[in-house]
Structure 1
């Protein structure tokens, strides 16, 4: 009789321990989509953790728009058409979340050099907007991302 009771208790404990993670995941998972749906896409994740002011957000958006315009100005009409098609495909849910559209443009070396210069200028402009604390946080976040990327590559 004692053996039967002990095995029932052990089974109940095991069942409880295995059910807890599923319960926690179900509770956090159900509220998560609401939060994500209410938060604009550009304010989630990486940049959100920097706690930008409204002024900084507006300046960042302006820099991003300016950067995109400068990069698109470098492209030939054929390259622009390819990029637009890739964007439409992504918006339709058929494409991946990568920069595949830019990668398939067959850029010339001169275009690649100009793109790098534009990106570097944009990066410097964005960093100039940040406070010293935000710059330190950005550096920390970038280092964490670099480490996670290296760990993923090592596990493959």
Structure 2
């Protein structure tokens, strides 16, 4: 559940960058082990029918970007990140806890932007359009179950009451986050989304102040505790197992 609530509005630029790197490169080769088990974005990327040459080029971009991202972190931050992940801490929270400097955040955004542009340059115009359409449709399909990925939400068998409570938490969290942003940041965010930019990427580009990032963390910690209380112990375990598998796939 922590992933579902924090995925969109995570603070560190590293989050989007690291998540981006394996996105395309793993998609073509990842086996479908059962209906709904492959993340929707991976399913979309499989539909692009990437050529062997495209896959090889994207793999090179991914590895180069990963090396650059690792170069941003200090030895202490790397150790802290590894320890947090080993203890089962969700990646977004682990990264957000690194307290990246503004210089590190700037470097992360630059690496992410360069990698995205390089990957887009490998895709044909038709493939780029497919990716854009998928992003837009994904934003439109997020419904009453909040930010829980569809593949795990379906397995949880949420009751109507649970769905309603999660929706209330989501809306409350969104309202609180909007209050954290300045008028200029809100306008920037709305413009980016209207132009088809992924919402998480648009939020990362807002350059939140340290005070705003602190507020954001507090908002999501509160939302997480509320959402956790909505789920049964069995459902919480299902979410934890799902997130563990996603973290493993992210670093393959």
Please indicate the TM-score interval, normalised by the length of the shorter structure. Answer: 0.5 to 0.7
Corresponding residue of 1:82: 80
Structure 2 residue 32 is the aligned partner of structure 1 residue 35: yes
Task: Give the Cα separation in 1 of the matches to 2:61 and 2:112.
Answer: 10
- TM-superposed deviation, 1:120: 0.3
Which of structures 1 and 2 has the larger relative contact order (alpha carbons within 8 angstroms, sep 6+)? 2
Larger Rg: 1
Structure 2 residue 100 is the aligned partner of structure 1 residue 104: no
Task: Give the Cα separation in 2 of the matches to 1:127 and 1:106.
Answer: 30
Q: Structure 1 residues 99, 51: CA separation in 2 closer, same or farther (over 3 Å shift)?
A: farther
Deviation larger for 61-70 or 107-116: 61-70
Structure 2 residue 136 is the aligned partner of structure 1 residue 136: no
Q: RMSD value over aligned CA atoms?
A: 2.8
Q: What are the equivalent positions in structure 2 for 1:13-52 lying under 5 Å apart? A: 35-36=32-33, 44-52=42-50
- C-alpha offsets along residues 89-146 of structure 1, whole Å, 9 cap, x if unaligned? 4xxxx344x4333222110011001100100000000000001110000110111122
Corresponding residue of 1:113: 106
Task: Give the Cα separation in 1 of the matches to 2:132 and 2:143.
Answer: 17
Corresponding residue pairs, total: 115
Structure 2 residue 50 is the aligned partner of structure 1 residue 57: no
Task: Give the Cα separation in 2 of the matches to 1:83 and 1:61.
Answer: 23
- TM-superposed deviation, 1:150: 7.2
Q: Among 78, 101, 115, which residue is 1:122 paired with? A: 115
- TM-superposed deviation, 1:35: 3.3
Task: Give the Cα separation in 2 of the matches to 1:73 and 1:149.
Answer: 35
| TM-score for both structures, normalised by structure 2 | 0.40
| TM-score for both structures, normalised by structure 1 | 0.62
Q: Any unmatched runs of 5+ in structure 1?
A: 1-33
SS class of match (1:106): coil
Task: Give the Cα separation in 2 of the matches to 1:112 and 1:36.
Answer: 36
Task: Give the Cα separation in 1 of the matches to 2:62 and 2:119.
Answer: 9
